[in-house]
Amino acid sequence: MTTRVQCRCGEVEIELTGEPLVQFYCHCDDRQAVHGAAYAPESVYPSDAVTVVRGGPKAWTLKRNPRFFCGQCGTRLFIDVLALGVRGLNGYLLPDGQFRAAFHMQCQFAVRPVSDELPHFKSRPARFGGSDELVEW
């Protein structure tokens, strides 16, 4: 199964192969700064399952992982998490109904807590190198 997504202006098109490994909302402080948002949705795939099929996204690096965006319209596209061999796609690029978050993470940094039925991890879930500790929202 493949899915194609685009930036807002259509300059960059990306093909996704298969299902995401995980989808979540991240509230970390890095994300707040680079997205200018309280939190952001991420849909994670094996790196080779996310292929740029049109256009040439621009990259910048905040700390160690390159982040890619459209040089024309500025849409945030994906981050390469090099240590894990995964690409985290901006979840809002997906067609309606295909972003279904399993949890919130990095809630210790939250500036705008969200009350919903999902787990709210203080850092990351244990299976992603965290502690499984939850916050009370």
User: Which residues here bind Zn ion, judged by CB under 5 A?
Assistant: 7, 9, 11, 26, 28, 31, 70, 72-73
Give the residue from 96, 110, 104 showing the smallest Cα distance to 125: 104
The CB-of-115 to Zn ion minimum distance in angstroms stands at 20
Give the residue from 124, 94, 93 showing the smallest Cα distance to 107: 124
Please identify, using beta-carbon distances, which residue of 31 and 104 lies nearer to Zn ion: 31
Between 73 and 102, CB nearer to Zn ion:
73
Is the Cβ of residue 1 or residue 36 nearer to Zn ion in the bound state?
A: 36
**Shortest Cβ 12–Zn ion spacing (Å):** 6
- Give min distance, CB of 48 to Zn ion, in A: 22
Closer residue to Zn ion, CB minimum distance, 6 or 47: 6
Provide the minimum distance between the beta carbon of 46 and Zn ion in the complex, in angstroms, as a whole number: 19
Retrieve residue 119's tokens. 């787990």
